[in-house]
Amino acid sequence: MKRSQINTLIRDAKDFFDAFLFRLPPWAFWTPEQWKGKGELEIVRNQLGWDLTDYGAGDFEARGLILFTIRNGNLAAGHPKQYAEKIMIVREGQVCPMHFHWAKTEDIINRGGGNLVVELYGSTTGEELSREPLTVTVDGIPRQVLPGGTVVLTPGESIFLEQGMYHRFYGEQGTGKVLVGEVSSVNDDTADNRFHEPQARFPEIEEDEPPLHLLCTDYPDYV
């Protein structure tokens, strides 16, 4: 992805968050210069902040995600925080690909805007898609879903996803962009994503202009 495209998407994200009165912490708006010398902060060590990916597909509108990690622990470093929180924007028809987590459990929450479609499978011992029905919890109420079935979350609804539960999600066509929250156990995007079809978690960036704000993957180069 070009840095200019990333900068445009971050500007759009800030406007979208503001429209829902969802406020980010002050450091979300730091310039690259302001990050210098901040390498020991929890923000940097636990990969908080802006995160954007096209999953290596080169078509962000069709397959991609922009998110902001607000808080997170770090199990490898012995950090005491045992939870994480993200805020995301999912566009109509924009797919977050099929994957599960070995360690993380999470609530995916529709915070507002359009409807979020969540497609689900269980997993086999060989980490393939299970052909058995599965039971998920939607706002505390169990619901049985057939393999490959979907749960449509309207604003205010949430779904609990267990370890090993394959899921992909996208914005329902015709309903608008979705403000999506995630509350989870500690998040590790470097080692805890099992994509059903292997793909990159983080994008390759073509630096055609300076960063507006740093992505969490930019910290080693700028901090």
Instruction: State residue 200's pLDDT score.
Output: 87
Instruction: State residue 76's pLDDT score.
Output: 87
What's the rounded Cα separation, in Å, for the pair 181 and 184? 10
What's the rounded Cα separation, in Å, for the pair 195 and 155? 27
What homologous superfamily is domain 3-222 in, according to CATH? Jelly Rolls (2.60.120.10)
What's the rounded Cα separation, in Å, for the pair 140 and 160? 8
Beta strands, E only, 101-218: 106-113, 116-121, 134-138, 141-145, 150-153, 158-161, 166-171, 178-185, 194-195
What's the rounded Cα separation, in Å, for the pair 81 and 69? 14
- Quick count: other Cβ atoms within 10 Å of Cβ 42? 14
Instruction: State residue 103's pLDDT score.
Output: 97
Q: Report pTM.
A: 0.96
Indicate the helix (H) or strand (E) that contains 21.
none
- Contact 134/165 with Cβ under 8 angstroms? yes
Instruction: State residue 102's pLDDT score.
Output: 98
Q: Where are the domains of the chain?
A: 3-222
Instruction: State residue 81's pLDDT score.
Output: 96
pLDDT per residue rounded down to tens, the chain (223 residues)? 999 999 999 999 999 999 999 999 999 999 999 999 999 999 999 999 999 999 999 999 999 999 999 999 998 888 999 999 999 999 999 999 999 999 999 999 999 999 999 999 999 999 999 999 999 999 999 999 999 999 999 999 999 999 999 999 999 999 999 999 999 999 999 999 999 999 989 999 999 999 999 999 999 999 9
Residue with tokens 């901040």: 38
- Contact 85/70 with Cβ under 8 angstroms? yes
Classify residue 85 as exposed, middle or buried by CB count within 10 Å of its CB (0-12, 13-18, 19+).
Answer: middle
